[in-house]
Structure 1
Amino acid sequence: MSIAGKKIAILATHGFEQSELEVPLQKLKEAGAQVQIVSLEAGEIKGWAKKDWGRPVSVDRTLGEAKPSDYDALVLPGGQINPDLLRVEPKAIEFIKGFWRDNKVIGAICHAPWLLIEAEIVKGRRVTSYHSIKTDVINAGGRWEDSEVVTDQGLVTSRNPGDLDAFSRKLIEEIGEGVHQRRAA
């Protein structure tokens, strides 16, 4: 499916899981999207590659420069460090909430549902995540599922480790559908 002309933000900071940023980034670009890395500060952010620091990625825009209205969708890579640092940043949470309020697609991988919890998005929604935050999702009112990829009205989550290609395909499909009218959970 082509999503040519769509603009996608990937919100990340230091400690993002390398593959969870790079695979969706590559797949979204291959599908024709314009993708920007949005972070807390300008410059570069450094990834985490399984058991050690990974490669740096250039930041395209800071949170101070980016607005949800600039984009068609949002991707939240996981790793333990990245979402834990972002979930205590009010600007990051407001950025995420803006996508949800505007009925735009949000994709979250692994530990990134922590950000969805902070943004008060998971309550009543079908969600998956890395197994270690299952209780956090449930305690926030999410309907946690042990599935590789779960979609609920434009919210795409992946438990990873798993198939990031399957996550990316579902994300692209949801972006191609456009805004999602959301029923109350």
Structure 2
Amino acid sequence: MKVAFLVAPEGVEQVELTDPWQAVRDAGGTPRLVSTKPGRIQAFNHLDKADTFEVDQVVKDATVEEYDALVLPGGVANPDFLRLDNKAVAFAKGFFDAGKPVAAICHAPWTLVEADAVRGRTLTSWPSLRTDITNAGGTWVDEQVKVCTGGPNALITSRKPDDLKAFREAFLEEFAKTTKGSAR
């Protein structure tokens, strides 16, 4: 299982990147850091700078076909930067078009709103996104984790870092269903 982790050059909530990343590795998968620029990305612990991480691939060179699933970590600034990058939005939307699973936590559904990928879907997020999701045609729920399979792909969403255990368990289960038999 090869999983793209799409992040902006700065603003990702570190634990929302590192915890799911480790879960993919522990499950025998290959996580890859995809960003809008090469080099290193700057992670944050809420509003404070945290560690930096090496980018594996620039989104303009990435294709949905080379990945089995997508994880969108949150952080307030991260998805706000991503939603302004047409290639990042198209990359995220491509997973829906291809019927591949997508997992998004906290503020990350902003990127999916921009990709017009929440219409007709039920999802959760950080509470401040409720109106954006509703206005984009989605149904927002206040749950620790929400798995929505009523569309072209599985969409797994979660609210915040406190929900990471439930989030990783849910997305690993859905990713395993989709990638069963995959040679990656």
Query: Structure 1 length as normaliser, TM-score?
Result: 0.92
AA of the residue aligned to 1:175: F
For 1:44 and 1:19, the matched residues in 2 are separated by 17
Q: Deviations over 1:23-46 (max 9, x none)?
A: 000011000001100001111000
AA of the residue aligned to 2:119: K
Matched, 1:95 2:94: no
For 2:16 and 2:32, the matched residues in 1 are separated by 15
The equivalent of 1:177 in structure 2 is 177
Matched, 1:85 2:87: no
Q: Deviations over 1:92-147 (max 9, x none)?
A: 01101111011000001100110110111111111000011111111111110000
Matched, 1:70 2:66: yes
Residue ranges of structure 1 left out of the alignment (5+ in a row)? 1-5, 180-185
The equivalent of 1:9 in structure 2 is 4
For 1:70 and 1:172, the matched residues in 2 are separated by 18
AA of the residue aligned to 2:136: A
Q: Deviations over 1:51-90 (max 9, x none)?
A: 3011001100001221000000000011110000000100
- How many positions carry a matched residue from both structures? 174
1:109 is aligned, of 82, 105, 109, to 105
Structure 1 vs Structure 2: percent identity of aligned residues?
44
For 1:162 and 1:108, the matched residues in 2 are separated by 14
* More helix as a share of residues: 2
Matched, 1:129 2:125: yes
Superposed CA RMSD in Å reads 0.9
SS in 1 for 2:107: coil
